[in-house]
Amino acid sequence: MLRFVFCWSIDKVKKKKKKKKKKKKKKKKKKKKKKKKKKKKKKKKKKKKKKKKKKKKKKKKKKKKKKKKKKKKKKKKKKKKKQVKVKEAKFRIPVLMRDLKAWFQLRFHTYTRTVYRVVRVAPWFTLRVLSKTTTSRPVLLVVLLLLLLPRVVILLAELMP
C-alpha cells in the first residue's frame, strides 16, 4: 500500500508539472506571431521613405531660386526707404560773422532736432536740412528767423555809431 501511495503522489506531481510547461509554450507561440507582424510594417515604412527623398530634392531646387529673388528685392527696398525718410530743404542765409554761423548751427540743431549740412560758406551760405521729423519748409523758415533776430539786432547795434 505504501508503495502505491508513493507512486501515486509522484505521478500527480509530474502531471502538474507537465501542465505548467504546456501553458508556457502557448504563450511563447503568441509572442512569435506578433513579432512577424511588426516586421511586415517595417518593410512598408522603408518604401515610403524612398518616395519622400525624391520630393525633398525637388523642393531644394525651388528654394534656391527664391533666395536669389529675395536678395534683389532687399537691395531695392533699402534705397527706397532712404529716399522716403529724408526730406531736403535748402536755405540761403546772410552771415555777417563766423561767430554767428557757429552760434546759429548749435541753436538750430538743439531747437529743431534735425540733421543739416552746410553746402557753401561765404557772406551767403546754403544750408541743406535733412530732417527726419515732420517739419515742413515754412515752419523751419519761421524758426530760423526767430533764432536769428536777437543776434542780428545786437550786431547792427554794434555797427551803428
Tell me the pLDDT tens digit for each residue of 148-161: 777 677 777 777 76
Same domain, 59 and 117: no
Same domain, 94 and 155: yes
Q: How far apart are the first and last CA of the chain?
A: 161
d(CA 151, CA 128) in angstroms, rounded, equals 21
All three cell numbers of 95: 552771415
Q: What is the pLDDT of residue 116?
A: 46
Q: Give the model confidence (pLDDT) of 57-71 as tens digits.
A: 766 666 666 666 666
The residue among 22, 54, 85 that closes a domain is: 85
Task: Summarize the confidence of residues 140-154 as an average pLDDT.
Answer: 70
The verdict on residue 12 lying in a domain is no
Same domain, 110 and 138: yes
Q: Using the predicted structure, report yes or no on whether residue 54 has a pLDDT greater than 50.
A: yes
Same domain, 98 and 151: yes
Tell which wins on pLDDT, 36 or 111.
36
Structural domains counted in the chain: 2
For 129, counting Cβ atoms within 10 Å of its Cβ (0-12 exposed, 13-18 middle, 19+ buried), the class is buried
For residue 149, give every residue at least 6 positions away whose Cβ sits within 8 Å of its Cβ, in sequence order, or none.
none
> What is the domain range of residue 65?
30-85
Nearest alpha-carbon partner for 112 in 143, 89, 148: 143
For strands 124-131 and 87-94, give the pairing. antiparallel
Q: What is the CATH number of the domain that holds 135?
A: 3.30.1360
140 with 105: CB under 8 angstroms?
no
Same domain, 62 and 81: yes
The verdict on residue 5 lying in a domain is no
Nearest alpha-carbon partner for 129 in 84, 90, 83: 90
Same domain, 90 and 151: yes
Same domain, 62 and 90: no
d(CA 3, CA 9) in angstroms, rounded, equals 10
Q: How many CA atoms lie within 13 A of 131 on its CB side?
A: 19
Same domain, 105 and 149: yes
The verdict on residue 18 lying in a domain is no
Q: Using the predicted structure, report yes or no on whether residue 124 has a pLDDT greater than 70.
A: no
Q: What is the pLDDT of residue 86?
A: 45
d(CA 161, CA 159) in angstroms, rounded, equals 6
Task: Summarize the confidence of residues 114-143 as an average pLDDT.
Answer: 52
123 with 94: CB under 8 angstroms?
yes
